Structure 1
Amino acid sequence: MVSTAYMRTIFPAAMLALAGCSGGDEEPAAPPAMPVDVMTVQSQSVPNIVELPGRIEPVRTAEVRARVTGIVQARLYEEGTDIAKGAPLFRIDPRELQATGAQVRANLQRLRATAANANAVVRRYKPLVSEQAISQQEYDAAIAAQREAEAAVSEAKAQLDAAQLQLGYTTVRAPISGRVGRAQVTEGALVSQTEATLMTRIEQLDPVYVTLSQSSSEVLKIRRAIAAGDIALSDDGRIEFEVTFEDGTRYPITGHLNFFDYSVDQGTSSVTLRGEITNPQRLLLPGDFVRARIMAGTREGGIMVPQRAVQIGENGASLFVVGAKGVAQSRKVTLGPLSGTDWIVEDGLRPGDKVIVSNLQKIREGAPVKPRDARSVLGSGTAPAKSKAAAPSSKAK
């Protein structure tokens, strides 16, 4: 016989053990849905951005060369500074040219005296011809001598002007305004007019050119898209671009394209483009490597998503969308260039897809999500881009 006290002790313990065994067969509860902000993808007008590498070139480059032969006496400028057009750069020993000029001036005075005498003879002979005191032949000879003397005077004047011009070249002046480089000659060096000795260079750095190269196939693709109306340019046809330095920082001033080469380089199968951009602080230096973002109009039917929605890894870019059963699905996408704070998506999304833009670090593939409208949190990011695109669309209709 089992005592009543023993039963009272064993029965509750047995019940607890049975309860524990029955509970182990139940499935765990599903995790709650993660609240996420989503935006619905819409087809819209997007900027047609072309990114190309380029080099900075000065708008003007002047090679300062010797125009007279002589010895350099002094350098009159500070290397690497900005100078104005006409500023003195070098002084070449002028003494030899001064002596030549004095000789030509003396010869001019002698010829002027000869011409004055010939004029006096003509004045004396003129009344004597009518009185037949002298022959017509003598008078004609006096006229010829007068004209020859006047021609000699004119020739000597031209020689004097040339001598003075050569003497002026002994002070070498800047042909353009810009930044002057280091001197190629020093004091005491012999420079030659015949060899056109290079003395220094001047480069105009405001504005500057950005020289770009685009493959001929891409140029043809863009031109066909413009002709078909898929790409719309501005009314004035002006194409602007932005510049980014090698370290990724953006240059704060926008330039515009001003040259398009209609011939294709046979060696590279590329077409040369050139833009002009102001450079007041001389941040852009000749030879700098830059990347240019060309805003070549707009194209319809594009898709843009906020930059915060995209995750970029070793395998490319991806983002999360809300699947049919309310779960997160990873989607690989092909990205185009950035437009403000939005990525232009070339492939991987369709209008109507719901892109998740928040809690991206917390959600996983297949996790249930609770979507809510992202317009309240995106603020001035994506919503205004849609409103801007709607205006041209209504005009087109």
Structure 2
Amino acid sequence: MQIDNRIRRIAAVGVFAAGLALTGCDRTSGDAPPAQAALPEVAVVTVEPQRVVLSAELPARTAAHLIAEVRPQVGGIIQERLFTEGADVNEGDMLYRIDPALYQAAYDNAVAALSRSEANLPPIQSKVTRFEEAVAAKAISRQAYDEAVAALNQVKADIEYGQAAVQAAQINLGYTRVTAPISGRIGRSSVTVGALVSAHQPVPLAIIQQLDPIYVDASQSSANLLRLKQNMAAGRIKSGGADQARVRLRLEDGTPYPLEGTLKFSEATVDPSTGSFILRMVFPNPDHVLLPGMYVRVVIEEGVVEQAILAPQQGVSRDHKGNPQAMVVDAEGKARQQMITVDRAIGDTWLVTSGLAPGDRVIVEGLQKVRPGSAVKAVPLAAEGGEGPKAQSTSQPAAKS
């Protein structure tokens, strides 16, 4: 009996010890804090002010600097064509020869008539001199003297008329040699040897175009010009000074044209049907790379923003009304939706006019992981070259801001 009681006491102690052990384990596990969830990681770009040269890229067409239609000034048969179609000609070069026979005869006739009038002058002059002495001595009547003077004046008038006739005949004879009015490249001939031409025909014989230098005409929106003037008046954009006159050009395939041009003038009126006006530039064209009628794009420098804020385009979205917005990380490490206004695209960035300040961190990657007000882990974006967004040389106005 004593042995059984001893066994029971040992078993009870063991059960009690086991219970204490289990209770200690439960208390230990209950006191441990729960594991924290990791913060979503986002890539950010810190915006900093920088100097930006604003420029506009506009569609344009090339036009000849000088253009002249070669037309006959007298009628006749084309005897000879003296140029190669598509070649360069110089001012004064002979292009066509019109049959001069008729005009040579008219010139010879005018010269002969002038010679006849000049031959009548000496005897009439002598007669007037004699009559002048005779009328002084009252040897002849005053009427006879007056008739002699009138005859002299008639001969002098005939001589002047003959001289004018000779000059006119000489000019018409010279017109049988059709020459180039300007230097440039001549196109195809509209007539062949043997064709009859007239002085007032509607179709030119050929067209000469001067290609160096060459005009480039671009169309600029009046709304963009107004906005540019408003920004300059508000001090947001400064005039580019000497740089503003510089104009660059891209060919139709996107290839940059190696030579810079200058702005010549702009139209004083706006086309009411298109709401735009024409800007005319002049470009050197020594190799004749540019031909009249080519489609090109010109890049015109408009002004300078000294403290521009550029936001990466991948970090800017639009709300349901089309207003631009960006998600930024504030000082507390929380994501915040920020409404912004943008002026234009510059490369792969937006030029921000309000809503962002220097030092703001714009989220560009991981936007799908965060919501406004949520805590995030901001990591600088590994940009190429290790730098933030940079201004490009070409910019376009934003579609809506």
TM-score range, shorter chain: 0.7 to 0.9
The gaps in structure 2 that reach 5 residues or longer are: 1-33, 319-323, 370-375, 394-401
Residues 64-79 of structure 1: matches in 2 within 5 Å? Answer: 64-79=70-85
User: Alpha-carbon deviation of 1:127?
Assistant: 2.1
Amino acid at match of 2:171: L
Name the counterpart of 1:154.
160
Conserved in 2, the CA contact under 8 Å of 1:91 and 1:172? yes
1:275: which partner in 2?
Answer: 281
1:84 aligned partner, one-letter code: N
TM-score normalised according to structure 1 size: 0.73
Q: Which amino acid aligns with 2:250?
A: T
**How many residues are treated as equivalent by the alignment?**
347
1:129 corresponds to 2:135: yes
Q: Tell me the equivalent position of 2:261.
A: 255
Question: Does structure 1 retain, via aligned residues, the 8 Å contact 2:246–2:263?
Answer: yes
2:58 paired with 1:52: yes
Q: In percent, how many aligned pairs have the same letter?
A: 38
For residues 208 and 78 of structure 2, what CA distance do their matches in structure 1 show?
Answer: 19
8 Å Cα contact 1:46-1:303 kept in structure 2: no
Q: Structure 1 pair 178/282, CA: closer, same or farther in 2 (3 Å)? A: same
- Alpha-carbon offset, residue 263 of structure 1: 1.2
Give the CA deviation at 1:302: 2.2
Distance 1:272 1:371, change over 3 A: closer
Are residues 1:302 and 2:308 paired?
Answer: yes
What are the ranges of 5 or more consecutive residues in structure 1 without an aligned counterpart? 1-25, 386-397
Residues 328 and 369 of structure 1 are in contact (CA less than 8 Å); yes or no, is this contact kept in structure 2?
no
User: TM-score, length-normalised on structure 2?
Assistant: 0.72
In structure 2, how many angstroms separate the alpha carbons of the residues matched to 1:193 and 1:77? 21
Q: Which has the larger radius of gyration?
A: 2
**Separation in structure 1 between the aligned mates of residue 266 and residue 189 of structure 2, nearest angstrom:** 35
In structure 1, what is the equivalent of residue 224 of structure 2? 218
Structure 2 distance, partners of 1:355, 1:252, is 38
Matched, 1:81 2:81: no
Tell whether 2:97 aligns with 1:62: no
Q: For residues 142-198 of structure 1, what are the alpha-carbon distances to aligned partners after superposition, in whole Å with 9 as ceiling and x for unaligned?
A: 111111111111111111111111111111111111111111111111110133641
Q: CA deviation at 1:210?
A: 1.3
Q: Report Cα offsets for 1:272-314 as digits up to 9, x if no partner.
A: 2211111111111111111111101223442347xxx7769xx
Q: How many Å apart are 1:79 and its aligned residue?
A: 1.1
RMSD of aligned alpha carbons: 4.2
State the Cα deviation string for residues 228-287 of structure 1 (Å, max 9, x = none).
333322445953221111211111122122211121212222222211111111111111
Name the CA shift for 1:297/1:140 in 2 (closer, same or farther; >3 Å): same
Question: SS state of the match for residue 205, structure 2?
Answer: strand
The 3-state SS of whatever aligns with 2:230 is helix
Q: Which of 102, 112, 117 matches 2:108? A: 102
Structure 2 residue aligned with 1:141, among 142, 147, 151? Answer: 147
Partner of 1:227: 233
